Structure 1
Amino acid sequence: MDPWIWLALFVFGAFTIEAITGFGSIVIALSLGALLLPIPAMLPVLVPLNICMTGYLLARHYRHVHLPTLLKMILPLMAGGTLLGYGLRPWLGEQLLQLLFGALVIWFAGRELLKVYRGLHSRQHASWWTRSWMLVAGITHGLYASGGPLLVYALSGTTLDKAAFRATLITVWFSLNSLLTLVFALDGSLQPALPKIIMTLPALIAGLTLGEFVHHRVNEQRFRLLVYVLLLITGGLLIITSL
């Protein structure tokens, strides 16, 4: 079967999961897709698709966005890091990109599973620590459009409530992925991806619809555990296939 059809199926699953849990659409779709397709070829497809989803969610939840955290901390650091990460992509090569991405996925999934197993709770960190990790999160977003794991790590222990945390993150992804899409348009990689974006859009809509429907009908904690296990396995496969 055409690997792009597989990617559409992965998009359906990944965006269903994000609609249920509020995170992970690109990380999951890219992790699974990287087993079949090059990461640089998928990013101009997945990033504009993510804009569609985050734009829809932002229109519904914009009232909860915490503007001081967004404008004074996250966006300046992550926007700079995103451009830096994008500039590093040609220097790393496809195999190294896949290896590093697999390591990032394993770190994130393993950390979340360990927190659940040990019953750990996030503690507040110093401002310099938080800002440093935000910059690194921006670099990983420029490399893989997947700055979420490190940004969530950077924001761990903050005083944002659940609604503000989720809405602020949605705004970050909408903003940074809009920036990346503009960069893809300028470097010529967006135009060839447009037919694949259109082909995959129904999978996104179906995933979003299903995720919204089951959001209040599943145990979110158990569902997240299954997702983390899936990411852990996928990260391992990415590293094995890159060696």
Structure 2
Amino acid sequence: MTELPSDGVAWAMLALAAALVGFSKTGINGTASLSILLFATVLPAKESTGALLPVLIIADLFAIRFYSRHVEWRVLGRLAPWVVVGTALGAVVLWFVDDTFMRLLIGAILLAMLGLQVWNRLRPKAVDPKPPSGLARRSAAAGAGVAAGATTMTANAAGPVMVLYLMLSGFPKLKFLGTMAWFFFAVNLFKVPFSVGLGLISWHTLLMAALLIPAIAVGALTGRTVAHRVNQQQFELATLALSAVGAGLLIVSSATS
């Protein structure tokens, strides 16, 4: 990115996107998918991923401030090595592969995971259900970690992956938000050297993120208010619905690009 946008409409779209990022981090996850599309509308597709990354990191800091006491460190430990693998794969994809096909694949995977979550909620529950085996937990962590790393590197779109993984794990609302906050803060910081190496982050993208801090703050404060006012069932349904919308938007954007 060599220069900042010069017209008011572009800045209004970027401010809306930044507010949605803040809201997604501290409230109902899933709205960040629209932010991806708004940034890609204002900026060239690949440059938009680098421009959005500092905005995501700033929003992560708000989420950590609000939910730092509610985090499941064991889950993050299981995911960490697989996220590294997925991020490296995503960097290779960005270098060699057309991202239109990648977005289509990501959207299809997310919709499949959503279907799994809906099936899990609707199927009859066993009277005395057996907890998942250690192998099942490790396999789920491996799949979610690689998918999250790859999708966040290629399109900043790992949110729906983690939404579905943590919901399948049965996380309550605040622990869900706290674990998501620390996960994405660590992952987004890890992505910075890759993005710099690919030429996706510059002083202009950092300046843009700084100018968007007020919009991020408005979204984050609104998200926290909403999160504390909805119950667990409402939170899960809204999060799943917005994740489905995000997956659909990725597929539509790939089909029309």
TM-score by length of 1: 0.77
> For the residues of structure 2 that align with 1:81 and 1:53, how far apart are their CA atoms?
22
Identity rate, percent? 22
Q: Secondary structure at the match of 1:85?
A: helix
Q: Secondary structure at the match of 2:63?
A: helix
Q: Secondary structure at the match of 2:169?
A: coil
- Describe the shift of the 1:109–1:127 C-alpha distance in structure 2 as closer, same or farther (beyond 3 A): closer
> For the residues of structure 1 that align with 2:242 and 2:173, how far apart are their CA atoms?
20
Q: Secondary structure at the match of 1:63?
A: coil
Q: Secondary structure at the match of 1:188?
A: coil
Q: Write the letter of the residue equivalent to 2:71.
A: V
Task: Look up the match of 2:139.
Answer: 129
CA contact (8 A) 1:39 1:98 kept: no
CA contact (8 A) 2:33 2:249 kept: no
- Describe the shift of the 1:25–1:176 C-alpha distance in structure 2 as closer, same or farther (beyond 3 A): farther
**Residue 86 of structure 2 is aligned with which of 78, 81, 102?**
81
Deviation at 1:163, TM superposition (A): 3.7
- Describe the shift of the 1:128–1:41 C-alpha distance in structure 2 as closer, same or farther (beyond 3 A): same
Aligned residues: 239
**Residue 6 of structure 1 is aligned with which of 10, 13, 20?**
13
Which structure 2 residues correspond to residues 71-150 of structure 1 after superposition, within 5 A?
A: 71=77, 73-104=78-109, 106-107=111-112, 118=122, 124=132, 126-133=136-143, 134-150=145-161
Deviation at 1:102, TM superposition (A): 4.2
Gaps of 5+ in 1: none
Residue by residue over 1:178-237, the C-alpha shift from the partner in whole angstroms, topping out at 9 and shown as x without a partner, is: 111233234432113223223332221121122223333455356446534643552453
> For the residues of structure 2 that align with 1:210 and 1:88, how far apart are their CA atoms?
35
Q: Secondary structure at the match of 1:64?
A: coil
- Describe the shift of the 1:171–1:127 C-alpha distance in structure 2 as closer, same or farther (beyond 3 A): same
- Describe the shift of the 1:180–1:144 C-alpha distance in structure 2 as closer, same or farther (beyond 3 A): same
> For the residues of structure 1 that align with 2:38 and 2:105, how far apart are their CA atoms?
15
RMSD value, Cα: 3.4
**Residue 201 of structure 1 is aligned with which of 197, 210, 213?**
213
Gaps of 5+ in 2: 1-7, 126-130
TM-score by length of 2: 0.74
| Residue 33 of structure 2 corresponds to residue 27 of structure 1 | yes
